[in-house]
Amino acid sequence: MKIIMLGAPGAGKGTQAKRIADKWKIPHISTGDIFRANIKNGTELGMEAKKYMDQGALVPDELTVKILLDRVAAKDCENGYVLDGFPRTIPQAEVLDKALSEMGDSIDYAINVDVPDDSIINRMSGRRACVSCGATYHIEFAPTKTEGICDRCGKELILRDDDKPETVKKRLMVYHEQTQPLIDYYAGKNILKSVDGTKDMKEVFKDIQAILEA
């Protein structure tokens, strides 16, 4: 079972990807993790990617797909995998499809965790992080016992720059320009499945489970 997770930043696709991976005992693969592992292990592909990253440039799609294919060729991916954070654009999806096709392989499902922009802005701007231990909370969904104070270490909580409404709006704008077209792309291949991401996380997972077990 080979799955791609789609959804705007803050839609909860990473959480659902981890749950799918745990339930079906398949790896949860994020491109960021693979890059870090390859760089840490000093692989040829990792060193090539590092050159771009050190210059603050984006790693070219072909190289990203090479690193990804190297990862999915590993033994733990025999029964499938969940891709989280890749592809982000149509050209990336096309490069990935071509490479998988040459291996006689293809993606089975593209699961879109659908959440309206307003809900995402509210969800992310309610996040709070501890300046000391890094624990995260939410003022509505996972509040602390004492407002603004970390339950774990008693230090102050902050709203991170990444979670500020103006930053979230910018990220959503980029998402709609670059990544949302993938929804039509995978719909055209008849592998797109959408779930309502505004529901409780457990309910969202139940909906995903129903799709994958159908």
pLDDT digits (tens, 9 = 90+) for 109-151: 999 999 999 999 998 999 999 999 989 999 988 999 999 999 9
Most distant CA atoms of the chain, gap in Å: 56
pLDDT, position 199? 94
pLDDT, position 22? 97
Cβ-contact 136, 127 below 8 angstroms: yes
pLDDT, position 209? 97
Cβ-contact 113, 198 below 8 angstroms: no
pLDDT in tens, 94-115: 999 999 999 899 999 999 999 9
Residue type, 125: S
Q: How confident is the model at residue 58 (pLDDT cuts 50, 70, 90)?
A: confident
Cβ-contact 99, 69 below 8 angstroms: yes
In the predicted structure, residue 77 carries a pLDDT above the cut 90: yes
**Percentage of the chain lying above the pLDDT 70 cut:** 100
In the predicted structure, residue 23 carries a pLDDT above the cut 90: yes
In the predicted structure, residue 157 carries a pLDDT above the cut 90: yes
Catalytic residues: 13, 88, 127, 160, 171
Q: How confident is the model at residue 188 (pLDDT cuts 50, 70, 90)?
A: very high
For 90-123, b where at least 16 C-beta lie within 10 A, e where not — what string?
eebbebbbebbeeeeeebebbbbbbbeeeebbeb
- Architecture of the domain whose range is 2-27+74-115+173-213: 3-Layer(aba) Sandwich (3.40)
Cβ-contact 110, 193 below 8 angstroms: yes
Residue type, 77: C
